[in-house]
Every structure is written in structure tokens, then in C-alpha cells.
Amino acid sequence: MTREPVPDDGLTTRQRRHQPLLAVYTGPMKGKSTAAFGMALRAWNAGMPIAVFQFVKSATWRVGEEAAFTALGEAYSRTGMGAPVEWHTMGAGWSWARKAGTEADHARAAREGWREIQRRLAAERHGFYVLDEFTYPMTWGWVDVDEVVETLRGRPGLQHVVVTGRDADPRLVAAADLVAEVTKVKHPLDTGRKGMRGIEW
């Protein structure tokens, strides 16, 4: 085992242990959100308040993850173990907004979601943010990439952020501390198998 390099950044080990992480899970496979939610399990156990912002149209896509994290949030309420969990879905209408978004104004709904995230980051409201499928509103020009990068770079305190979705913009990748791709080697849907409850959703 080689020794870790000592970085020339003027920080103490303790400071380096307490830096907010910006992670991006990208690439063509579905496992990127799966990996982000797996990360959130550790954050939950470490007592970081979790907030998931799901930038996808269909509210059914993450039904398994949502149910599990809701149960973890309830476990926290009941026993104090772990951390609180909030789950917000764009497709179902953001839970803090007055009414559900319609088919016609996804762009507006995405921007509203991003504004809310900006407010929460400024207020240091959560410890671990999952911005699920958030690359798409950026790709489609609904949310400005430079503004996202600036907001994330300047966020106060110890707030970890994980962004998932295909085709992450190079500016977001450049700003991220951890970038991982899930690469498909072989997938059952390629051979005509059907999606299964408990596996695909």
C-alpha cells in the first residue's frame, strides 16, 4: 500500500475531512441514481439531513427508493437514529409549491425547483442533497449551468451535493470533486427481458 500524497493546499487533515463534496454520477446506465441513493444511506447513518429533489417527469420511477428513504426518515423521527429525510418530486408537483406543474411548463417547474435548492443551500437547510436527473434541465437549457456551478462552488458550510443524469456538462464535471460513470457491460433489457418490480423500479 502506497502512502497517500500530502496535498499542498494549506489545510489540516481535519479540515480535509470536513469539506463539502460535490459528486456527479453520469453515464448511459440507470445505475447512476442507484449509486447516488446508495451513498445517501451512509449520509443518513452519519446523521446528515437528506433532501432528494427528483427532476424527472414520472413520479413512479423512484418509487422503491422513495419508500425506503421515507421509512428511514420515519425511523429517525421515532428513534433519533440516522437523520431526517425530505423527498420532493417535480412530476408530482414540488411539495412546497402551491400547485402541480402541468405538462406544458416543465421548464418553469425545473427552474422553480432549482430556485428552491438555491434557497436551501443558502440557508444550510440539509446535509446531503440528491439532485436526481438534474443534468437534463441543464442540457435542455432550462437551468443555467454557469449559475448552477457558481451556486454550488459558493455554497456555505458542510453540505454535500450529488447530481445524477446523463451527459453532465463539462463545467459541472470540472467543478465536481467526485465524478463516476456507471458503464453497462451487459443488461437484461437488451435481450428482451421485461422490467421487474423491485429491480427496475
- Beta strands 22-26 and 50-54 are unpaired
Question: How far, rounded to the nearest angstrom, does the alpha carbon of residue 143 sit from its chain's CA centroid?
Answer: 16
Q: Does 16 bind a copy of itself (CB under 8 A)?
A: yes
CB of 119 to a copy of itself, least distance (A): 23
Q: Does 63 bind a copy of itself (CB under 8 A)?
A: yes
**Residue 35 near residue 27, CB atoms below 8 Å:** no
Angle at alpha carbon of residue 119, lines to 103 and 108, rounded to 5°: 15
Q: Does 172 bind a copy of itself (CB under 8 A)?
A: no
Q: Does 127 bind a copy of itself (CB under 8 A)?
A: yes
Stretch that binds a copy of itself, among 62-70, 90-98, 100-108, 109-117 (CB under 8 A): 62-70
Q: Does 170 bind a copy of itself (CB under 8 A)?
A: no
Stretch that binds a copy of itself, among 88-96, 114-122, 137-145, 186-194 (CB under 8 A): 186-194
CB closer to a copy of itself out of 19 and 95: 19
Nearest to 28 by CA among 198, 148, 177, 164: 164
Q: Does 131 bind a copy of itself (CB under 8 A)?
A: no
Task: Give me the 142-161 binding string for a copy of itself, x by CB under 8 A, dash otherwise.
Answer: ------------------x-
Q: Identify any residues that bridge with 130 across adjacent strands, giving them in sequence order.
A: 52, 162
CB closer to a copy of itself out of 38 and 157: 38
Task: Classify burial at 197, counting beta carbons within 10 Å of its beta carbon; exposed 0-12, middle 13-18, buried 19 or more.
Answer: exposed
Cell of 143: 437551468
CA distance 94 to 109: 8
Footprint on residues 20-59 left by a copy of itself (CB under 8 A): 21, 25-27, 29, 31, 33-39, 41-48
CB of 158 to a copy of itself, least distance (A): 9
**Residue 108 near residue 115, CB atoms below 8 Å:** no
CB of 107 to a copy of itself, least distance (A): 21
